[in-house]
């Protein structure tokens, strides 16, 4: 019953925990579980979720008796769904970790139920029969549908008495399109699931290289003691894509780059970069510190929006020697004013970061695919070398070339006179650790099974990020900052460079 699900206590191994995070404990799963994917015929499931579970299966973390249950409205048998899933594994699992026999064994864990999960009056018999008798083991409902179906789907689970004390619900982003709709979703789902049972997923937090921000800062005293406005000149966070909107066009046009990337992904990365040292690695302590950063962001008044934001839309251009269409052609709508690129200058109003600009940038059809954090250090106040290069930089590469590099000044050995040039200390994580870097969904899926909320977003974080983003949306709606265009295959409009030039800075590719 719903009441018992809200008030009952999960078992010791299953209860969401606030103990310090232990990587070995989190990544080890020995007991069977049920994982229900609602929207299981969609692109996310085939490209990401099934391949992620396959990788966990190879590591022994999806034992015999586990059920991966796909739920969607398509009229398919379990066997027909397994055939689709097997093709997806062959296509999307990297060749160096794909094994046909293992893929076949994994697909034996997969079941399917044809069902509109948002409809309480639909035929739920297949799903209920698959879950019957499993009330005492972990059960996860992963909702990979449109956000407007989250509440009705949660209500249907409650109506069919499928919510046990061991049940979690995972909500894909976006959580709403503004603060009001986000609160409507959170309140609606919260009628049936406690906050401890709600896991709001942001796959950026599942990226090992994003998590490594914490390790670099807090496990290396040299860096942490320099991690402040006395040493750091600026911080830039970029998430650049070469692809266009593709099949996501109808969704993307209602979202745009600000809602799609900044409100969740980039603000989460910023909060990890700027947070104070947490008291511990518990979910509560980590998320408390992230929340403080989100609440300390400089408010975006109409005047600030006009001065410190850039929004633009790609037009036809060339990427990798191939001509590509503009956004309006891709979308099939010549009236859209949705931004596919943005750059924002902001500040974190805390003593640690006084006067340090933070630059956020994201876009489609840019010159390169790259997600990176660039820390630029302050120059010497009284330089003794007149020909010194630009100030040193620490670059944390999230993707595609996961690693970290530090750019320093060094004597140029090719010159007889004492002249300087840049030298880079570079570490490639895959080469350094000789291991496969897991997809971000792999750890997140297993964390949901284990009930570990550290890498998921708390309700008040969602509220804080929307409160900061909404004034930007409102300012753009009133044309406080006009929509510009940029050619596909470039780094966006020149005005994004001007945003940094005011502070005497540059984007990484311009150094």
pLDDT tens sequence across 366-375: 999 999 999 9
Instruction: Give the pLDDT of residue 387.
Output: 66
The number of beta carbons lying within 10 Å of the beta carbon of residue 475 is 20
Given this model, what pLDDT does residue 30 score?
Answer: 66
Tell me, yes or no, whether 113 and 26 share the same domain.
Answer: yes
Let me know whether 301 and 173 are in one domain. Answer: no
How many C-beta atoms surround the C-beta of residue 113 within 10 A? 24
At residue 25, does pLDDT exceed 50?
no
Ligand-binding site membership of 160 (annotated)? no
28: pLDDT strictly greater than 60:
no
**Whether the predicted pLDDT of 22 surpasses 90:** no
29 shares a domain with 155: yes
Residue 7: predicted pLDDT: 32
Q: Are residues 171 and 210 in the same domain?
A: no
* Residue 10 scores a pLDDT above 50: no
Answer yes or no: is 422 a known binding residue.
no
Q: List CB contacts of 131: < 8 A, sequence separation 6 or more.
A: 34, 36, 69, 139, 162
In this prediction, residue 249 carries a pLDDT of 86
CA gap 233, 171 in Å, rounded = 37
- Whether residue 203 is annotated as binding a ligand: the answer is yes
Per the domain annotation, does 431 fall within a domain? no
Q: How far apart are CA 293 and CA 297, in angstroms?
A: 6
Q: Which residues contact 438 (CB under 8 A, 6 or more apart)?
A: 55, 208
**Facing residues of 502 across strands?**
none
* 194 and 297 housed in the same domain: no
Pairing of strands 341-347, 357-363: antiparallel
Is 497 part of any known ligand binding site?
no
Instruction: Kindly state whether residues 113 and 13 are assigned to the same domain.
Output: yes
pLDDT digits (tens, 9 = 90+) for 321-364: 999 999 999 999 989 999 999 999 999 999 999 999 999 999 99
CATH number at residue 245: 3.30.360.10
Radius of gyration of the chain from Cα atoms?
24
Confidence of residue 9 (pLDDT cuts 50, 70, 90): very low
Confidence of residue 464 (pLDDT cuts 50, 70, 90): very high
> How many domains does one find in the chain?
2
Instruction: Supply the pLDDT for residue 232.
Output: 97
Distance CA 65, CA 34 (A): 9
Percent of the chain as helix, strand, coil, to the nearest 5: 40, 20, 40
Supply the DSSP symbol for 202.
-
Q: Is residue 436 part of a domain?
A: no
CB environment 382-411: b (16+ within 10 A), e (fewer): eeeeeeebebbbbbbbbbeebbbbbbebee
Query: Is a pLDDT exceeding 90 seen at residue 102?
Result: yes
How sure is the predictor about 109, in pLDDT bands with cuts at 50, 70 and 90? very high
- At residue 11, the pLDDT reads 36
CB under 8 Å to 300, separation ≥6 — which residues?
308, 309, 346, 468, 471, 472, 475
> Strands 317-319, 198-200: parallel, antiparallel or unpaired by DSSP?
unpaired
Considering the domain boundaries, does residue 407 fall inside one? no
Distance (Å, whole) CA 348 – CA 464: 14
Domain assignment present for residue 176? The answer is yes
Please state the φ and ψ torsions of residue 425, each to the nearest 5 degrees.
Answer: -95, 120
> Which tokens sit at 418?
């004492």
Residues 114 and 182 in one domain: yes
Same domain, 63 and 194: yes
What CATH number corresponds to the domain at position 100? 3.40.50.720
pLDDT above 60: residue 207: yes
Query: Cis peptide before 485, with omega less than 30 degrees from 0?
Result: no
Residue 294 has pLDDT above 50, yes or no: yes
- pLDDT of 388: 64
- Distances from the Cα of 107 to the Cαs of 31, 89, 414, in angstroms? 18, 10, 60
Q: Is the pLDDT of residue 395 over 80?
A: yes
Of 4-18, 44-58, 326-340, 351-365, the one with minimum mean pLDDT is: 4-18
Q: Kindly tell me the burial class for residue 187, based on how many C-beta atoms sit within 10 Å of its own C-beta (0-12, 13-18, 19 or more).
A: exposed
120 is in an annotated binding site: no
Residues 152 and 277 in one domain: no
Q: Is residue 361 part of a domain?
A: yes
What mean pLDDT is predicted for residues 32-39? 97
d(C-alpha 53, C-alpha 56), whole Å: 5
Q: Is residue 73 annotated as involved in ligand binding?
A: yes
| CA 237-239-242 angle, 5° bins | 150
User: Would the pLDDT of 155 be above 80?
Assistant: yes
Q: Are residues 451 and 335 in the same domain?
A: yes
Number of CB atoms found within 10 A of residue 491's CB: 22
Task: Note the pLDDT of residue 509.
Answer: 93
CA 367 to chain centre: 21
Looking at the fold, whether 151 and 297 belong to one and the same domain comes out as no
In a domain, 438, yes or no: no
Average pLDDT, the chain: 91
- Domain-located, residue 385: no
pLDDT digits (tens, 9 = 90+) for 227-286: 999 999 999 999 999 999 987 888 899 999 999 999 999 999 999 999 999 999 999 999
CA distances from 268 to 17, 145, 173, 287, 362 (A): 22, 22, 13, 10, 14
Give 278-338 as a 3 state SS string: CCCCCHHHHHHHHHHHHHHECCCCHHHHHHHEEEEEEECEEECCEEECCHHHHHCCCCCCC
Q: Which of 167-176, 308-317, 386-395 has the highest mean pLDDT?
A: 308-317
pLDDT in tens, 424-449: 889 888 888 888 888 899 999 999 99
Residues 6+ apart with CB under 8 A from 339: 256, 257, 258, 311, 312, 313, 476, 483
Q: In this structure, which long-range contacts are made by residues 414-417, counting pairs with CB atoms below 8 Å and at least 24 apart in sequence?
A: none
Say yes or no to pLDDT of 3 above 70.
Answer: no
Do 304 and 354 belong to one domain? yes
How does strand 309-315 pair with strand 483-487?
parallel
Domain interval for residue 249: 205-228+237-376+444-499
Is 460 inside any structural domain?
yes
Residue 194, φ and ψ in degrees, nearest 5: -70, 160
Report pLDDT for 137: 93
39 in the Ramachandran plot: left (φ > 0), alpha (ψ -120 to 50) or beta? left
Residue listed under structure tokens 């040039």: 421
What the block records as the tokens of 110 is 């997969």
Q: CA angle at residue 72 from 80 to 168, to 5 degrees?
A: 120
Measured on CA atoms in the order 332, 337, 343, 344, is the torsion positive or negative? negative
For residues 192-218, give the mean pLDDT.
Answer: 93
Average pLDDT over residues 409-437: 82
- Say whether pLDDT at 382 is over 80: no
Annotated catalytic sites, by residue? 265
- List CB contacts of 262: < 8 A, sequence separation 6 or more: 342, 344, 360, 362, 469
């Amino acid at each position: 019953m719903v009441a018992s699900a809200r008030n009952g206590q999960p078992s010791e191994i299953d209860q969401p925990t606030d103990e310090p995070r232990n990587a070995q404990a989190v990544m080890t799963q020995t007991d069977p579980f049920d994982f229900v994917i609602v929207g299981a015929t969609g692109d996310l499931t085939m490209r990401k979720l099934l391949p992620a579970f396959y990788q966990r299966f190879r590591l022994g973390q999806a034992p015999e008796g586990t059920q991966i249950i796909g739920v969607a409205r398509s009229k398919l048998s379990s066997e027909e769904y397994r055939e689709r899933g097997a093709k997806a594994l062959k296509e999307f699992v990297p060749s160096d970790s794909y094994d046909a026999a293992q893929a076949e064994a994994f697909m034996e864990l997969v079941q399917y139920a044809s069902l509109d999960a948002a409809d309480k009056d639909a035929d739920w018999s297949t799903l209920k029969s698959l879950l019957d008798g499993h009330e005492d083991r972990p059960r996860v409902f992963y909702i990979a549908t449109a956000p407007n179906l989250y509440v009705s789907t949660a209500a249907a689970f409650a109506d069919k008495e499928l919510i046990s004390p061991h049940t979690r619900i995972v909500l894909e982003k976006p959580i709403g399109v503004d603060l009001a709709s986000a609160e409507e979703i959170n309140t609606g789902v919260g009628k049936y699931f406690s906050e401890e049972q709600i896991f709001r997923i942001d796959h950026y937090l599942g990226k090992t290289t994003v998590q490594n921000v914490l390790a670099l800062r807090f496990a290396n005293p040299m860096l942490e003691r320099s991690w402040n406005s006395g040493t750091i000149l600026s911080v830039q966070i970029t998430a650049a894509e070469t692809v266009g909107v593709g099949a996501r066009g109808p969704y993307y046009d209602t979202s745009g780059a600000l809602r799609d990337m900044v409100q969740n992904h980039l603000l989460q990365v910023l909060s990890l970069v700027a947070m104070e040292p947490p008291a511990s690695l518990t979910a509560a302590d980590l998320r408390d510190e992230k929340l403080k950063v989100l609440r300390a962001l400089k408010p975006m008044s109409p005047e600030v929006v006009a001065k410190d934001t850039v929004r633009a839309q790609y037009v036809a251009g060339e990427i990798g020697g191939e001509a590509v269409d503009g956004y309006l052609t891709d979308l099939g709508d010549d009236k859209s004013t949705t931004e596919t690129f943005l750059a924002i200058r902001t500040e974190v109003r805390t003593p640690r970061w006084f006067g340090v600009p933070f630059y956020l940038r994201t876009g489609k059809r840019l010159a390169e695919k790259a997600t990176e954090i660039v820390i630029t250090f302050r120059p010497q106040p009284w330089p003794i070398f007149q020909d010194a290069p630009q100030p040193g930089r620490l670059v944390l590469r999230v993707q595609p070339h996961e690693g970290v590099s530090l750019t320093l000044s060094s004597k140029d050995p090719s010159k007889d006179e004492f002249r300087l040039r840049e030298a880079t200390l570079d570490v490639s994580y895959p080469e350094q650790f000789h291991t496969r870097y897991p997809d971000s969904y792999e750890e997140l899926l297993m964390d949901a099974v284990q009930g570990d909320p550290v890498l998921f977003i708390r309700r008040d974080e969602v509220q804080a990020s929307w409160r900061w983003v909404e004034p930007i949306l409102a300012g753009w709606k009133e044309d406080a900052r006009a929509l510009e265009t940029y050619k596909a295959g470039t780094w966006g409009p020149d005005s994004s460079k001007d945003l940094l030039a005011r502070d005497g800075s540059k984007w990484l590719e311009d150094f």
